[in-house]
Amino acid sequence: MDKLRFSSDLTGILEHKFENFSADALVGEIEASQRQESALMAHRCGAIAELLAVRTAEAEEADPDPGYSMITGFARTTAEVSAAMNMSPRGAQHLVSQAEALDARLPKVAALLAAMAQVRGSLPATAGAVFDKRLSEMATSVCAKDSRTIAQRRADALSALCEGRTLACDCGQPDCAARAHASESAAGGVQTVINVIATEATVTGDSDQPGYLEGYGVIDAEQVRELADTATIRPVECPTVSEDEALRYQPSAALERWIRCRDMTCRFPGCDRKAAICDLDHTTPFNQADPSLGGLTVPWDLACYCREHHRLKTFHGGLGGWRDEQLPDGTIVWTSPTGRMYKTTPDGYDLFPQLREACRAPTLRKRSRSKEQAKRVARARGKLREQRPVNIETRRINYARNREIELRRWRNQSRRMLILFKGKQQSTGPWCTWVNDPFEPEELPPDWQPPPPPPHPRRRPTFLRTATKILVATRLT
């Protein structure tokens, strides 16, 4: 209630704050707010640049030899900025790059290149998703030695698509397959497939609950039904995982489809990369040596991570890195290197609450946990019984060595006092005759052993001692 009242009061203040301002004063407020916003942006970029310096130093100190497994300072900073500001990895990368440029390389913002161009358009959701996916397919059709970035390839793919040809590879190698077919027409190429998630009631017309178009977002029920008329409909439900399937590293096609539809995007905080291009990762690492000990391939231990955040968890995880924990309801709790915690929930559950009740946890374990624990306890106790006499003998020897050193020091001190009071004259008393002996070394050799302990006298049985007490009591009576 207090939060609602505060929000209402704040709204009222904002509504009446500029009520009596003139037009010139309002323009002045806009200019002032822009300067304040610029100062805040500079402040934020300075903090990001300093964090980048700290994380880069940590990465270079941890692994001075860069390799495929190294998580660079830039990647570490991007992950923390993305989670803290709840923004996409691409946006965080741009922000960190800009902060680094302002801090280290560019004292002034460079002018934008005049030769670049932008194409803006408005398309229906289905056409836009197909168009975006087709450009991505063409951008990844060239070989690995192509010099262009993905964004540049997509721009060139747009030109190629308009001209009805495939995207040419610029690697310059005569044996490149993509370069050889650069002049071929794009007509009759690979058919583009898009995925739409919707409830059965929406498809049949019994509900107006919206659906989800992969690569675009939420679409209304009418669009779902239009697409369903010519689409291949495949039910999406949490599959029953057998014990053999749970012990395999690779999930089944049905389980993989379920996880991607449940998550919809990468499960790292702020990341919006679609699940179709993400990796399926075991939250508890899969045990290759003995899969039954952990990391089962089951719905509650799998999640979608894009390649960037999958590598981040793999090579910059554990203490001092990023750690994740998946709860039974699919929520993933992330812990950052600084100890901050972030929670992400499956987008599929938010859009389609029916999915929450669709998954049931199968019984995979046939053995008894209580019996296994009893065996582990018995083995541990057996080892303790074997080790107990060894520990007792070790303590006895250590005590005897310390006691022997103390006695030698005490006897040597007595000999010094004899020399102090009587010089070289020896003691004639019948006690402590050892005082006339030479000084003893006050350190023991490593192989010194004390005499064996005396045998313990055998104790009479309990019934004999009890009988003796009874006889004594009878005589006294």
Q: Taking the chain (477 residues) in consecutive chunks of 10 residues, what is each chunk's mean pLDDT?
A: 47 62 79 76 83 87 66 88 89 87 62 42 70 81 83 80 78 74 49 76 87 82 84 82 89 90 91 89 89 86 93 88 90 91 90 71 62 88 92 92 94 92 87 91 91 72 48 45
Contact 267, 344 (CB under 8 A): yes
- Interatomic CA distance for residues 181 and 187, integer angstroms: 13
The reported pLDDT for the residue numbered 398 is: 92
Contact 157, 167 (CB under 8 A): yes
The reported pLDDT for the residue numbered 113 is: 26
Q: DSSP string of 417-467?
A: HHHHHHTTPPP--SS-GGGGSPPPPSS--TT--PPPPPPPPPPPPHHHHHH
Q: DSSP string of 23-50?
A: HHHHHHHHHHHHHHHHHHHHHHHHHHHH
Q: What is the pTM of this model?
A: 0.53
In 215-286, alpha helices (H): 221-228, 243-246, 253-263
- Interatomic CA distance for residues 38 and 191, integer angstroms: 47
Side-chain half-sphere exposure of 384, counting CA atoms within 13 A: 6
Three-state secondary structure call for residue 65: coil
Helix pair angle (221-228, 125-139), 10° resolution: 60
Phi, psi dihedral angles at 83 (to 5 degrees) = -70, -40
The reported pLDDT for the residue numbered 443 is: 92
Contact 129, 213 (CB under 8 A): yes
Contact 288, 249 (CB under 8 A): yes
Distances (CA, A) of 292 to 248, 253, 314, 325: 10, 21, 21, 19
The one-letter code for the residue type at 233 is I
User: CA-based angle 350:212:153, to the nearest 5?
Assistant: 120
Encoding tokens for residue 391?
Answer: 């520990």
Residues listed for the chain: 477
The reported pLDDT for the residue numbered 291 is: 84
**Of 276, 261, 274, 268, nearest in space to 349 by CA:** 261
Contact 258, 237 (CB under 8 A): yes
